[in-house]
Amino acid sequence: MGGLRRLEYRGYDSAGISVISQGQLATRKKAGKLENLVADIKAHPIADSRIGIGHTRWATHGAPTDQNAHPHLGGQSSKLALIHNGIIENFSELKQELLDAGTSFASETDSEVAAHLIAKEYEASKDLVSAFGKVVNRLHGAFTILVIHEDFPDLILAARKNAPLVIGIGEGENFLGSDVAAFVEHTKRAISVGQDEIVILRPSGVEIQGFDGHKVDSKEFTIDWDASQASKGGWPSFMAKEIADQPQAVADTLMGRINSEGMVTLPEIDGLDAKQLMAIDRIIVVACGTASYAGEIAKYAIEKWAKIPVSVELAHEFRYRDPILTPNTLIVAISQSGETMDTLMATRYAKEQGAKVMAICNTQGATLARESDAVVYTHAGPEVAVASTKALTAQMTAVYLLALFLATGRKSMSAPELSQLGKELLKLPAKVTEVLSSLEQVTDLAKKMSKAKTVLFLGRNVGFPVAMEGALKLKELAYIHAEGFAAGELKHGPIALIEQDQPVIVILPSPSDPLHPKVISNIQEIKARGATVIAIAEVGDKEASKYAENVWYVPATNWLMAPVLTVIPLQVFAMELANAKGLDVDQPRNLAKSVTVE
């Protein structure tokens, strides 16, 4: 149950467990949040057990109901229990085969089909491991499947195809989880399970084999954060904790990659040698959601500093538009979880086309990290709240490091220029702390705006992705319609939206930026039409307070690095407005932390 609680952020519309105790398989499962399951177990206790599987669900096939919750039981004797993450794409034909053989189903899920198939195979062969192997070879799509059977009280079987699975190695006990958060309180020794692999897990040891039965040698790694980091630590929500963690997340991402002279090294980019790096003639960033906004910042930074053309594509669009890639194209995939199926599919496609892939990922041992030619890890620590905050500012930090690393290798800037930028990067954690310490008025205004029906966000240049992120935060946390615009786009249509008292949040560039007066003009244009303007401006910006009802100030920094600071008031604004509406900021409705299905 502790493991499920740590994974609840990944999907939480129903939950269940199956254990084998006193020789019997016992199952409890309930729709809704985990506490519903806890209450059910309290009402219907289960005797102690040393073997069990548990699951929190994000519904794909079948509504979130008790019956559709996992585990699913297989076979008429119901001695087999199965849990599943992902989608079995050929489940309907397999289900028909079972229906024709007289199998009755208790749920509408694709997962239950696998349970019955394995139980049926086992009835025939009396060999659970081979029955399991046979069935997983018949399944198409994306799945992590775990099975236990009453006849084997010391065995858990697992299979992994296009969905996350990691093993925890304990003392006389072993664990499986979708990510290490599930068992980090019990052990820091972990093994990543690869694509198309089967795990045979017993208290005495773990065997891994391919779907074709060949033995797989596994690589152990040590988890570099502990359970306390994955708990709230006294904060009212994971989101509040993670927003406050941002100075550390930025500092830890810089750690060991930039010296006091501001010179950047990225020792971990060992999968790409200097020749390959120099041959790069195009970079395509693929990502989804908030990570894609970090990608937009990467575009400005890499083009400005490293002089390499960059385009940013939503992974799910990139994958299906037959993009033209060459061996000199570098794909930079940005993903906090490293399990976002859209991003994984995009990078797999790119590799098939011969492009090199570099991941910027926050989760050690994640699928994306293992499938890329090189990985630049962000070190934001576990991000539990569904709405991404510290992972974003850590991703921005990582793309600045990457841009400076490429600029250094390609000598696209002078050493003094590189050093000056690097030193400015080193000051970011302290500036993030400064922003975090002056947000009272953001909180106050958010509470006053809890009745807002729609909020618009305007930004220009690097402020544009910040405007998009501010809108996304408000949508996913406060369920308010919000839209981010490029400020220059306003007069090409969106200004028609402006009416009396329409709240508009504007991200202003530094007063020293040539774009500053243009964005001030945008503010005047919307003020003239009745908008209520909130400006995010650099400390000392006198113009801002002339036109904006509210000004949220952030410290001065290099214009390209400003997003790390200007995004923070927007994170807090969305969180506090959602809090004022009494919403769950850690687990917003309809969302999951990691979207592991396409």
- Interacting residues with ligand AGP (CB under 6 A): 288-291, 335-337, 340, 343, 386-388, 476, 594-595
What is the four-CA torsion angle of 404, 409, 410, 413, rounded to 10 degrees? 50
Classify residue 354 as left (phi > 0), alpha (psi -120 to 50) or beta. left
Distance CA 274, CA 303 (A): 19
CB 19 within 8 A of CB 26: yes
CB 132 within 8 A of CB 2: no
* Other CB atoms within 10 A of residue 47 CB: 9
CB of residue 377 to ligand AGP, shortest distance in Å: 13
Bridge partners for 197 per DSSP = 160, 210
Indicate the residue among 208 and 346 with the shorter CB distance to ligand AGP. 346
Indicate the residue among 81 and 394 with the shorter CB distance to ligand AGP. 394
CB of residue 546 to ligand AGP, shortest distance in Å: 34
Indicate the residue among 570 and 595 with the shorter CB distance to ligand AGP. 595
Distance CA 567, CA 463 (A): 9
Nearest to 296 by CA among 468, 535, 524: 468
CB of residue 392 to ligand AGP, shortest distance in Å: 8
CB of residue 503 to ligand AGP, shortest distance in Å: 21
CB 1 within 8 A of CB 46: no
Indicate the residue among 88 and 385 with the shorter CB distance to ligand AGP. 385
Indicate the residue among 86 and 133 with the shorter CB distance to ligand AGP. 86
Structure tokens at 442: 């953001």
Indicate the residue among 20 and 357 with the shorter CB distance to ligand AGP. 357
CB of residue 592 to ligand AGP, shortest distance in Å: 8
CB of residue 389 to ligand AGP, shortest distance in Å: 8
Indicate the residue among 180 and 386 with the shorter CB distance to ligand AGP. 386
Indicate the residue among 329 and 336 with the shorter CB distance to ligand AGP. 336
43's enclosing H/E stretch is helix 34-43
Indicate the residue among 286 and 490 with the shorter CB distance to ligand AGP. 286
Could you tell me which residues come within 8 angstroms of residue 127 by beta carbon, excluding any fewer than 6 positions away? Answer: none
Structure tokens at 168: 């925890």
DSSP 8-state class, residue 481: E
Indicate the residue among 337 and 532 with the shorter CB distance to ligand AGP. 337
Structure tokens at 587: 């687990």
Nearest residue to ligand AGP, using CB? 289
What pairing do the DSSP bridges indicate for beta strands 374-377 and 329-335?
A: unpaired
CB of residue 96 to ligand AGP, shortest distance in Å: 34
Structure tokens at 223: 């988890």
CB 582 within 8 A of CB 235: no
Name the one residue in this structure whose structure tokens are 């959601």.
Answer: 289
Indicate the residue among 336 and 461 with the shorter CB distance to ligand AGP. 336
Classify residue 213 as left (phi > 0), alpha (psi -120 to 50) or beta. left
Could you tell me which residues come within 8 angstroms of residue 441 by beta carbon, excluding any fewer than 6 positions away? Answer: 550, 552
- Return the beta strands (E) in 487-531 as ranges: 503-507
CB 242 within 8 A of CB 394: no
CB of residue 386 to ligand AGP, shortest distance in Å: 5
CB of residue 276 to ligand AGP, shortest distance in Å: 25
Indicate the residue among 8 and 476 with the shorter CB distance to ligand AGP. 476
* Other CB atoms within 10 A of residue 243 CB: 23
Long-range CB pairs of 103-110, under 8 A, 24+ apart, other chains included: 103/76, 106/67, 106/72, 106/73, 107/62, 107/67, 107/68, 107/72, 108/61, 108/62, 108/63, 108/67, 108/68, 109/61, 109/62, 109/68, 109/70, 109/72, 109/84, 110/60, 110/61, 110/84
CB of residue 414 to ligand AGP, shortest distance in Å: 34
CB of residue 366 to ligand AGP, shortest distance in Å: 9
Name the one residue in this structure whose structure tokens are 């989608």.
Answer: 87
CB of residue 344 to ligand AGP, shortest distance in Å: 9
Number of alpha helices (DSSP H) and beta strands (DSSP E) in the chain: 20, 23
Indicate the residue among 246 and 290 with the shorter CB distance to ligand AGP. 290
Indicate the residue among 132 and 457 with the shorter CB distance to ligand AGP. 457
CB of residue 181 to ligand AGP, shortest distance in Å: 14
Nearest to 537 by CA among 561, 518, 514, 562: 562
CB 114 within 8 A of CB 134: no
Nearest to 588 by CA among 75, 81, 58: 58
CB of residue 58 to ligand AGP, shortest distance in Å: 12
> CB burial class (10 A; 0-12, 13-18, 19+) of residue 16?
buried
Distance CA 314, CA 337 (A): 16
